[in-house]
């Protein structure tokens, strides 16, 4: 492996690690882009490991924050909690397998005292699926660089309409 490839994997790990927090980093686009190069299995593994370790570190910080500010949990709409808590494992998988820019399910699992081991297993399985699909898509689009760049651009801009959608939904529920 070349030094450039190893440094790319290190950068991917860092983006995955930090991207587990609500930090706007181009994780999805990065995995998609790296999918066109050699050893896509390594790309999937590094991105998944970085995301898992990042979440495990963030989880402790969030748990202490929620304990100090219990009003945060009270602000989660009751309908939201009732809808998603019934099948939280399924929703955790879905929200983490899809390349969505935000994932409220992990936070809901955290405040609901969901099993840490179960969450880690579901999160890992979902991210393996997500990253595998992104790598496959990146490899398929590699022959058509214009489509690859368009796909990465769409994934980078996806958080903007999602943020507006969530803001609109929160003003309706208030």
For the chain, the structural domain boundaries read 3-173
Q: Is the pLDDT of residue 22 over 70?
A: no
- pLDDT per residue as tens digits for the range 47-62: 889 888 888 888 877 7
Q: What's the confidence (pLDDT) of residue 44?
A: 87
Distance CA 84, CA 107 (A): 12
Query: Which bin fits 168, alpha (ψ -120 to 50), beta or left (φ > 0)?
Result: alpha
Instruction: Give pTM, 2 decimals.
Output: 0.72
Distance CA 8, CA 54 (A): 18
Distance CA 123, CA 10 (A): 21
Is residue 139 a contact partner of residue 37, using CB atoms and an 8 Å limit? no
Q: Is the pLDDT of residue 172 over 80?
A: no
Q: What's the confidence (pLDDT) of residue 125?
A: 94
- pLDDT per residue as tens digits for the range 69-101: 777 667 666 666 666 777 888 888 988 888 766
């Amino acid at each position: 492996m070349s030094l450039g490839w190893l440094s790319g994997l290190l950068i991917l790990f860092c983006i995955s690690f930090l991207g587990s927090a609500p930090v706007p980093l181009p994780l999805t686009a990065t995995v998609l882009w790296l999918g066109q190069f050699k050893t896509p299995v390594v790309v999937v593994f590094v991105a998944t490991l970085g995301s898992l370790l990042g979440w495990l570190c963030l989880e402790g910080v969030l748990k202490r924050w929620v304990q100090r500010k219990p009003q945060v949990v009270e602000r989660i709409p009751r309908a939201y909690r009732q809808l998603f808590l019934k099948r939280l494992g399924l929703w955790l998988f879905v929200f983490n397998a899809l390349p969505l820019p935000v994932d409220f399910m992990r936070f809901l699992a955290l405040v609901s005292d969901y099993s840490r081991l179960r969450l880690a297993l579901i999160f890992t399985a979902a991210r393996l699926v997500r990253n595998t699909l992104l790598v496959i898509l990146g490899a398929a689009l590699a022959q058509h660089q214009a489509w690859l760049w368009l796909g990465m651009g769409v994934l980078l801009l996806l958080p903007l309409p999602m943020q507006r959608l969530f803001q609109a939904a929160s003003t309706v529920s208030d």
